[in-house]
């Protein structure tokens, strides 16, 4: 049995503190969820674990050895990484992409042995992607691409899997399929798997344990049931919740609460429509309600965390069926709700083919003269799983005068300034 020990790790991006005194011990055979709001340090911690970043203070040990003594080849043999920026050579065929995982094990000529080919074929079989092994990567659907990247990680035969939001851009069916597969492989191969996940409810369903981060600090660490408590979630996400046990799955699920203090807030005249998804809009909804703004949201798939939050908070929402792309009917309803608003706020949600119409709705809002605020804390390049269409839409949003901000904290000052300019008062 191997383990990872993180001892008092600090990391800064120049003057910005990303990790502070992070300490944890993780053993093999366990799927660990890295949880926390945007900017909490999840991706930075994964990069420190992979050797891509070196801690400013503290140490990371793998199997009793400090990562600092590992060569690049040794790191590649032991750590397999799947980050959201995916792959730089989309024209390559699927087999060739997966074959790159065997480079740490091949000789100096880089030729594949029968064992290497066997490892590749085994990964193809596990992920059930043999049927499109000769297709180009850029021809695949988002779900197929993600399976290819995970197959490549498995073909590497490393002992640690590091996954950065592995299902953020997938529909709920593919999310369940991929996370279930990751959990099974973790047990079967006795791996250490650490995955940064956006959706707390999915983490509860599939992760054995969790590390909950906020502002680079560990809020809680341990078995998933001990980490996901009302108090811990409030400390990390600054929202009130009820954590319940599902009667069928026996896993925990988290429901955001509309607390009594929201009902006494003096309402404002400004009406805000939020385009979000995957849990990226929940804290923003709460914050705007606390300041008295009238809010609507859409389009959100039923079962999406933001959908559940909107319903719990009593926010009007345009919804669509789970496991589906945004329908024409839902898109038109979303546009009607936008027309009834003064401002549109676009969260930094990931975009796949299924929710691309929400970007079109934001552009149409600008065409109709509505102020549109775009939260781009995590650059769109890292959230675009549409083959570049989402990035093109963001370029269009800039051209048409959308206001870009880097965090949700910057949204409120923009709204307040807008109220002054428009002469809209509480």
CATH number at residue 222: 3.40.50.300
Domain match, 313 and 358 both = yes
Cα–Cα distance, 97 to 152 (Å, whole number): 7
User: Residue 61 pairs with which residues in a beta bridge?
Assistant: 5, 66
Domain match, 210 and 314 both = no
Cα–Cα distance, 301 to 315 (Å, whole number): 15
What does the pLDDT read at residue 138? Answer: 82
| Tens digits of pLDDT across the chain (426 residues) | 679 999 999 999 988 899 999 999 999 999 999 999 988 999 999 999 999 999 999 999 998 999 999 988 889 889 998 876 555 666 788 888 888 888 777 755 567 888 888 888 888 888 888 888 889 888 887 778 888 888 888 888 889 999 998 886 677 777 888 899 899 999 999 999 999 998 898 999 999 999 999 999 999 999 999 999 989 999 998 887 778 777 677 788 887 764 434 445 677 888 999 999 988 898 899 889 888 899 999 899 877 888 888 887 889 999 888 767 898 999 999 999 999 999 999 999 999 888 999 999 999 999 999 999 999 988 898 888 888 999 999 999 999 999 999 988 899 999 988 888 776 654
Residue ending a domain, choose from 252, 274, 298: 252
263, with CB counted inside 10 A (0-12, 13-18, 19+), is: exposed
Cα–Cα distance, 341 to 113 (Å, whole number): 62
What does the pLDDT read at residue 286? Answer: 86
42, 22 contact by CB (below 8 A)? no
Domain match, 137 and 276 both = no
Domain match, 295 and 246 both = no
CATH number of the domain bearing residue 385? 3.40.50.720
What does the pLDDT read at residue 144? Answer: 81
Residue ending a domain, choose from 252, 282, 305: 252
Show Cβ contacts of residue 20 under 8 Å, excluding neighbours closer than 6 positions.
Answer: 10, 215, 216, 217
What does the pLDDT read at residue 166? Answer: 85
Residue 257 belongs to a domain: no
Domain match, 335 and 413 both = yes
Domain match, 151 and 43 both = yes
Domain match, 292 and 401 both = yes
Show Cβ contacts of residue 193 under 8 Å, excluding neighbours closer than 6 positions.
Answer: 30, 31, 32, 160, 161, 163, 182, 183, 185, 186
Domain match, 35 and 73 both = yes
What does the pLDDT read at residue 389? Answer: 92
Residue 143 belongs to a domain: yes
Residue 287 belongs to a domain: yes
Domain match, 244 and 296 both = no
Residue 425 belongs to a domain: no
Residue 309 belongs to a domain: yes
Residue 214 belongs to a domain: yes
Tell me the three-class secondary structure of the chain, residue by residue. Answer: CCEEEEEEEEEEECCEEEEEEEEEEEECCEEEEEECCCCCCHHHHHHHHHCCCCCCEEEEEECCEEHHHCCHHHHHHHEEEECCCCCCCCCCEHHHHHHHHHCCCCCCCCCCCHHHHHHHHHHHHHHCCHHHCCCEHHHCCHHHHHHHHHHHHHHCCCCEEEEECCCCCCCHHHHHHHHHHHHHHHHHCCCEEEEECCCHHHHHHHCCEEEEEECCEEEEEEEHHHHCCHHHHHHHHCCCEEEEECCCCCCEEEEECCCHHHHHCCCCCCEEEEECCCCCCHHHHHHHHHCCCEEEEEEEECCCHHHHHHHHCCCCEEEECCCCCCCHHHHHHHHHHHHCCCEEEECCCCECHHHCHHHHHHHHHHHCCCEEEEECCCCHHHCECCCCHHHHHHHHHHHCCCEEECCHHHHHHHHHHHHHHHCCCC
Residue 426 belongs to a domain: no
Residue ending a domain, choose from 233, 252, 271: 252
Domain match, 196 and 279 both = no
Please tell me the total count of domains within the chain. Answer: 2
Domain match, 228 and 318 both = no
User: Which residue range(s) make up the domain with 221?
Assistant: 3-252
Residue 178 belongs to a domain: yes
Domain match, 16 and 144 both = yes
Q: What is the dihedral of CA 137, 168, 214, 208, to 10 degrees?
A: -100
Peptide bond into 299 cis (omega under 30): yes
């Amino acid at each position: 049995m191997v383990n990872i020990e993180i001892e008092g790790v600090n990391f800064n991006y120049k003057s910005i503190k990303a990790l502070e005194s992070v300490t944890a011990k993780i053993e093999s055979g366990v799927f660990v969820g890295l949880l926390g709001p945007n900017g909490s340090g999840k991706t930075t911690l994964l990069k420190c674990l992979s050797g891509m970043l070196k801690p400013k203070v503290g140490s990371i040990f793998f199997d009793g050895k400090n990562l600092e003594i590992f060569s690049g080849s040794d790191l590649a043999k032991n750590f397999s990484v799947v980050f959201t920026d995916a792959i730089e050579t989309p024209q390559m065929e699927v087999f060739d992409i997966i074959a790159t995982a065997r480079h740490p094990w091949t000789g100096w000529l880089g030729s594949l042995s029968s064992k290497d080919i066997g490892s590749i074929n085994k990964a193809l079989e596990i992920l059930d992607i043999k049927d499109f092994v000769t297709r180009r990567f850029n021809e695949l659907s988002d779900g197929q691409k993600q399976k290819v990247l995970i197959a490549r990680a498995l073909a590497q035969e490393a002992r640690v899997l590091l996954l950065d939001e592995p299902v953020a851009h997938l529909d709920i069916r593919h999310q369940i399929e991929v996370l279930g597969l990751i959990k099974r492989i973790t047990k079967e191969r006795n791996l250490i798997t650490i995955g940064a996940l956006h959706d707390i409810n999915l983490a509860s369903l599939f992760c054995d344990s969790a590390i909950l981060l906020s502002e680079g600090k560990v809020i809680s660490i341990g078995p998933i049931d001990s980490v996901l408590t009302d108090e811990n979630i409030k400390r990390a996400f600054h929202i009130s919740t009820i954590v319940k046990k599902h009667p069928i799955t026996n896993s925990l699920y988290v429901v955001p609460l509309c607390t009594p203090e929201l009902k006494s807030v003096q309402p404002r005249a400004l009406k805000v429509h939020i385009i979000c998804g995957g849990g990226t809009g929940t804290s923003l909804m709460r914050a705007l309600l606390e300041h008295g703004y009238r809010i609507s949201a859409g389009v959100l798939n039923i079962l999406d965390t933001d959908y559940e939050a909107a319903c719990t908070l009593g926010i009007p929402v345009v919804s669509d069926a789970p496991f589906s792309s945004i329908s024409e009917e839902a898109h038109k309803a979303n546009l009607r709700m936008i027309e009834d608003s003064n401002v549109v706020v676009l969260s930094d949600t990931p975009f796949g083919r299924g929710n691309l119409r929400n970007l079109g709705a934001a552009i149409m809002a600008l065409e109709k003269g509505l102020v549109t605020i775009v939260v781009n804390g995590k650059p769109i390049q890292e959230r675009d799983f549409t083959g570049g269409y989402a990035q093109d839409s963001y370029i269009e949003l800039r051209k048409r005068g959308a206001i870009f901000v880097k965090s949700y904290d910057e949204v409120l000052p923009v709204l307040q300034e807008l109220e002054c300019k428009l002469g809209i008062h509480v």
